[in-house]
Each structure stands twice: as C-alpha cells, then as structure tokens.
Amino acid sequence: MKLGSLAAALAAVTAVAGSAAEASSIYHFQVVDIEGRSVNLEQYRGKVLLIVNVASRCGYTYQYEGLEALYREYAGRGLVVLGFPSNDFLGQEPGSNEQIKEFCSLKYGVTFPMFARIRVKGRDAHPLYKFLTDKRTNPRFAGGITWNFNKFLVGRDGVVLARFQTKEEPASEPVRKALEQALGS
C-alpha cells in the first residue's frame, strides 16, 4: 500500500472509530493492520486480548519472543496478542509497516496480529490508546504510556482487567496469573 493511500485509510479508520470518550469498550474501535486493512476490534469479542505497544529498536524488543510464546501457548484457549508498533519513544520504531512486519517475522517468528504503526501517547494518540489511558474510560488502569511494551489485558467482554508496565516480562508470574484467571483456568 502506498504511503498516501495508507494515510487516507488511517484517517478514515480514525474517523469511524470515534472518540475514546464515546466508547464503552475496546470493541468500538477500528484499527489498520500491518497489511493496511481496516480491522474492527469487534471481531475479537469473546477472546482475551493482550494489547501491547511494541518497537523494533528498543532494549525491550526481546519481549516479542515472550509475547509470541504466550500467544502460541494460550491461543487455543482464547488469547490473542495484538501488537501496535509505535515510534513515540526515542524513535525506536522508525521503519515502514513492511519493514516492521519483516523484522518481527524473521527475527522473532511473530504470528500474532500486528497493526500499522500508530501514536500511543499525546494529543495525536490513536483513539484506542486514548480509551485505554483515559481515567474516564479506564479508571482502574488509566495513565499515560510510559515506554514501549506496556501491556493491557482485556477480558472476553472488552473490559480492561490488568495493566503491566514495560519491565513486566510476558512470561512473568503476575502476567501468567492474570491470563489464567481471564481465560478461566
């Protein structure tokens, strides 16, 4: 997809998504996948989601391996990891969507859904991330994205169940415990 058409697709999806304040769950948002296709998050209703802002040139990039391992281990029980590349922190995701996809696939064998690069903080943050970080829409786990690899665990009903900061490894006990509970072990 050419840059101009991708920008147009992003603008259209953002317009359809509406504002974060109007949404009552993550299912009210549309995003663009890494291939440039519009994706309604409604398609993940009934799944447990781990939403992560990712970057290819970060000291925590190795977490792709742990995220992929979680996805492979728990996908059969309903977990979907959603990766949202962002260049918001020291330019650590400078590549095109094609370059990001190739890097993740070749270096870490990523098979979980990846999306087009977005903003996750500030005034221009994607509406999904505004929803995830706003006190009005997510009072229990609100607050700005502090760095790459922040993680939001979302239940089958679209409600945020937990939030994990960058340093919390995907395979850590707190993440696994929250996942098991969300998946109904």
Catalytic residues: 58
Q: What angle do CA 117, 112, 25 make, to 5 degrees?
A: 70
In this structure, which amino acid lies at residue 53?
Answer: N
Write out the DSSP string of 99-135: HHHHHHHHHH---S-BB-----SSTT--HHHHHHH-T
Q: E strands along the chain, which residues?
A: 30-32, 38-40, 48-54, 79-85, 151-154, 160-164
What is the C-alpha separation between 54 and 63, in angstroms, rounded? 9
